[in-house]
Chain A
């Protein structure tokens, strides 16, 4: 009961500490020119030539991210083509994504280069990751282009990279301080603070804290009409038990050397929330509560031993605590605690054989443990070998092979077999014309998703003999860029990818016997075909007026081909729309910025069978935001006004989980 106040106290304490630290630094400001070079270097990385990327990627960075009405990483991912978001609604509702119909367990989510894990259920709740200090979100179909990466990074069917803000200092400044406050609908309140400090010219420290509090109460509406057109029922109610109270604290130190760099990072997230649950007949509120603590420390060291040989070491320790209580007096009382621990270490090496030929070798090790509710552990090893080769300036190829070895715990009862899998990937890109920025690309990749602890061991449900789930992807695509720096019509991009994926041995819940007892089986086969298309244009008008437009469109056919005797054989799998897309228009003039975004998710079905009872209507949301920047001497003040779901649409992303109607958010940040 005292938790919110206790969190507030912790938050305020953090704030005070930060202020003190900052005030101290304020005293010894000295001129520093070198930091500007750091700044430019970072810019170069962000806007690197597309052709250096063998693998198709989508990115949202800096200004774009600021303009989009997104609170969490999950909200921002809606703007990527090929991505489907499962959103249970509200600030605290679970949000997971899957890419190209392959299931969210096949996605890898990397936070500052190291994968976020959940060995228990394989799902990362992206609603928990605030955009507050995220500078870049990138999505790669397959894996990231760079061969110089950890072995695990070669393992996912799709990869999301979240990169936190890199410190940049104004000339002469040693410290940056940014404080922000957001308030909005659902009694939403979120103060945050970010500080960056330059310890030496090459060593920076960052600290960031955020408190999120919301009652999660919002109006939703269910309305039905009879086939004759009369209103059958029309009811508006308040979403209950969707409150959240969360604090996130992050901090890190990073250093740069002439031949390398290092980073150390800590992350702590703690929350208490209600689980609002499904709205069904006669049930308008539920009593499930969840307490969460996710903490990790991670470190990275990268060094060029010789000009040809580079090495990189990564390490991480993570501890997750989840406490689940069902207080609903109509249901059986449940009170479970889960604790997960993870130790991860990786050693990656790159050797440049020729100027245009790199090879890399990496080894990763991870230990996972789940305890309290049930005790299990597992050791996993990954070994990757990869090579990138460029033929002139026009042809690039990257190939990799990843071996995954899972040592399951020796347990008399379950005798879970160990697993060994090798997965290959090949990526090609070809630039046929020297003058035109046209790139053709193709890739083939296999990836496995290992059964999670829940899949293997969950009470009654678990099946010790599960095999890993295999996904195979084929992709061909084209991308054309036109960069006309000085013209009004200054930049244009158009591209499309066609893909075919097949998921075999898909791990699905299968009912056994009576009374909703389920087991997990390698039963599913899914055949996925699709097109991702994108277009972007930037116009630079006189008087500093700039207009950016961005369009994404995805067509997907993801059909179940498990067994011709099933009555859903050949049907679109649940929650995958045939059509989806987004449009973004950003208009900026001097210190004003107006953004409009539209997200569309077409018709789909909420269960395996494509029949009227499972039909789910399309949903689309129009969001608008207005940003104004005020400059007062050294202080930059930014005010934001957001309106989400402008046309007040009533919709469910997941059946019986109503989404909020029109809602507002106001934000203000001060940067010194």
Chain B
């Protein structure tokens, strides 16, 4: 009886038991349920999956339009020797020149890769980095932590300047509290300060940094808890505020020059539209909003388009086939400049695989693909010239 028990126990152990070498998880390829489009430009789109904090599960997927493929988890396979893979909490993804830049917030670095092969070129160590933008050979990166403050609870953030050839930090400028996105126009960097860690004393300013001197020259009061900032083709700035989650709701705001002759920006419009993320394509600003309703105990979601020229809402639902109900938590939006296809990512519950959805310009869903954890940031890869 006892012997039998021992044998049974050992069998079970042996069958299920042993540890094997931990392998670098290979990429996975799925076919898109649409016809490949050879000779298209852009040829594809990278997707950065953020991964929940502490999980070290940031990863990069690639949508191959030319061959009609969805490739999942490319970085680890292309760079197997990088210790602990891509990193923790991806926060931004951009292409500049021939390089792909991934901002990894909790790994305190910007990972620089070859945009075609995804092979690592190097990394730039920037503490608590958030978003990246480029201008004339330099990358500009926002960071939550600037200089050590006398009051440790009121530590301002910073913008770092990085030389994109040497990948070294060449300058730094202190801005507002917990800066988020930044955009560059007319020789100036506009930085959206959130103050997100200072609730209820949110920051409400947009920092203006002079590119030449790397000095903050102005702070424009806009709205509490700013997040996104984007320039349109007319020189206007589109800024989103998250509000205070209590009495002041999220809003979409427009800044324009005070006078045609002046470079000074002022808030010209506050649109009665909550906005979580946006993407400007031509005259159309695609946005979605996601706001928690205490009353309904669920998120209230909207998908819309604003005409940046007229500042009018064109539609309050750019998904026309009713499939938006299948999106649990929109977490990113991008529009293909070539054919007007719209991509919306679904972050779901943050700790399981998200989804990338593709809609055509008429708002009809083309495909949905499983991504990594919290797919959020997308960037298009143009055809090699």
Contacts and interface: CB of A to CB of B under 8 A. Distances in A.
Interface of A: 222-227, 229, 232-233, 235, 277-283, 329-333, 335, 459-460, 465, 492, 494, 510-517, 519, 521, 533, 535, 537, 551, 553, 566-568, 578-579, 581, 583, 600, 602-603, 606-609, 611-613, 617-620, 649, 651, 655-656
Given A519-B292, A566-B349, A600-B17, 4 more contacts: A516-B350, A533-B5, A551-B5, A603-B16
Given A227-B24, A278-B56, A618-B17, A581 B242 contact: no
A465 B294 CA distance: 10
B212 interface: no
11 contacts: A280-B84, A281-B82, A281-B84, A460-B245, A514-B276, A515-B196, A551-B5, A553-B9, A608-B352, A618-B17, A651-B19
Contacts of A280: 54-56, 84, 87-88, 106-107
B292 A512 contact: yes
A606 B16 CA distance: 18
B329 A612 contact: no
Interface string B180-222: 0000000000000000110100000000000000000000000
Q: Which 6 A-B pairs have the closest CB atoms?
A: A330-B127, A232-B80, A281-B87, A333-B152, A512-B292, A280-B88
Given A223-B21, A281-B84, A332 B353 contact: no
Contact of B25 (A515, A600, A612): A612
A282 B57 CA distance: 13
Majority SS at the chain B contact face: loop
A332 B87 contact: no
B125 A282 contact: yes
Given A233-B83, A331-B128, A551 B26 contact: no
B153 interface: yes
Looking at B87, B88, B178, the one whose CB has the most chain A CB atoms below 10 A away is B88
Contact of B54 (A278, A282, A332): A278
Majority SS at the chain A contact face: loop
Contacts of B107: 280-283
B54 A232 contact: no
Nearest to A333: B152
Contacts of B199: 459-460
A656 B82 CA distance: 16
A283 B2 contact: no
Contact of A225 (B21, B145, B329): B21
Nearest to A618: B19
Nearest to B331: A514
Interface residues of B, number: 74
Contact of A332 (B57, B145, B297): B145
Given A225-B23, A568-B352, A618-B16, A517 B5 contact: no
Contacts of A619: 19
Contacts of B81: 232-233
Given A494-B1, A512-B292, A222 B24 contact: no
Contacts of B9: 551, 553, 581, 583
Given A332-B144, A535-B2, A607-B351, A617 B56 contact: no
Given A281-B82, A613-B25, A512 B299 contact: yes
Interface string B27-65: 000000000000000000000000001111101000000
B13 interface: yes
A655 B53 CA distance: 12
Contacts of B56: 278-281, 655-656
Contacts of B297: 465, 521
A590 to B, nearest CB: 26
B2 A537 contact: yes
A606 to B, nearest CB: 8
A282 B55 CA distance: 13
B290 A513 contact: yes
A263 to B, nearest CB: 41
B109 interface: yes
Contacts of B145: 329-332
B148 interface: yes
B18 interface: yes
B234 interface: no
Contacts of A606: 55
B341 interface: no
A607 B352 contact: yes
B73 interface: yes
A609 B22 contact: no
Contacts of B13: 579, 581, 600
A601 to B, nearest CB: 11
Contact of A224 (B22, B128, B290, B347): B22
Contacts of A517: 245, 292
A329 to B, nearest CB: 7
B181 to A, nearest CB: 13
Given A233-B82, A281-B87, A329 B73 contact: no
B312 to A, nearest CB: 25
Interface string B346-370: 0111111100000000000000001
A419 to B, nearest CB: 18
B155 interface: yes
Contacts of B57: 613
A233 B25 CA distance: 13
B39 to A, nearest CB: 33
A235 B81 CA distance: 10
Interface in B118-143: 123, 125, 127-128
Nearest to A654: B54
B167 interface: no
Nearest to B149: A333
Nearest to A651: B19
A602 B23 contact: no
B19 A511 contact: no
A281 B104 CA distance: 9
A613 B83 contact: no
Given A235-B83, A280-B106, A553-B12, A566 B347 contact: no
Interface in B73-87: 73, 80-87
A535 B20 CA distance: 29
A516 B9 CA distance: 44
Contacts of B373: 607, 613
B155 A332 contact: yes
B224 interface: no
B291 interface: yes
A222 to B, nearest CB: 7
Contacts of B251: none
A643 B329 CA distance: 49
Contacts of B128: 330-332
Looking at A229, A331, A612, A620, the one whose CB has the most chain B CB atoms below 10 A away is A331
Contacts of B196: 515
Contact of B26 (A227, A229, A521, A578): A227
Contact of B127 (A232, A329, A492, A607): A329
B108 interface: yes
B350 A511 contact: yes
B372 A222 contact: no
Interface in B319-365: 329, 331, 347-353
B353 A609 contact: yes
A95 to B, nearest CB: 18
A611 B24 contact: no
A233 B153 CA distance: 39
A613 B354 CA distance: 13
Given A280-B84, A281-B88, A551-B9, A232 B370 contact: no
Contacts of A655: 55-56
Contacts of A608: 349, 351-352
Contact of B299 (A333, A460, A513, A516): A513
Given A280-B107, A281-B56, A517-B292, A225 B22 contact: yes
Contacts of A583: 9
A223 B83 CA distance: 9
Contacts of A618: 16-19
A535 B5 CA distance: 8
